Copies of this chain bind each other. A is one copy, B any other.
Amino acid sequence: MFNSSEIDNCEVRIIHQDVVDKVVASLPPDEELYDLAELFKVFGDSTRIKILSALLEHEMCVCDIAAALGMTQSAISHQLGVLKRAKLVKFRREGKVVYYSLDDDHVKQVFEQGFSHIKEIYSGK
């Protein structure tokens, strides 16, 4: 009825069945990998990286961050919302002013880990 080439045209060929099986079995659940990608996605924007880099140095309020980066308060506030939802920053309110800071050392570690990676790459390894 169908020859093998017709069927294969709609399927992905497997060359090493044993490796595929092993890898599929060892793969973390989709949801965790999805969450991991979401985490890195938050780090993957230069505005947010700049904000994190600033907060690495000192706790700051929104308008000071905006001034330091030369951007709109609105834009900064939007990105702080993203960072907040990802639990990368925490904040405290003091009167009208809201101060932001890094949530925990984990953020700092990921940040610095990535940094040393690009240093390694661009220095000819």
The residues of A with any CB-CB pair to B shorter than 8 Å are 12-16, 19-20, 22-24, 26-28, 30, 32-46, 48-50, 53-54, 57-58, 60-61, 63-64, 66-68, 71-73, 87, 97, 104, 106-107, 109-111, 113-118, 120-122
Partner of A50, one of B33, B71, B110: B33
Flag if B44 contacts A118 (CB, 8 Å). no
B117 touches A23 (CB 8 A): no
- Complex CA distance for A88 and B117, rounded to whole angstroms: 10
Q: How many copies does the complex hold?
A: 2
Tell me if A's interface is mostly helix, strand, loop or mixed.
helix
Specify which of B36, B43, B72, B106 is in contact with A37 (CB 8 Å cutoff): B43
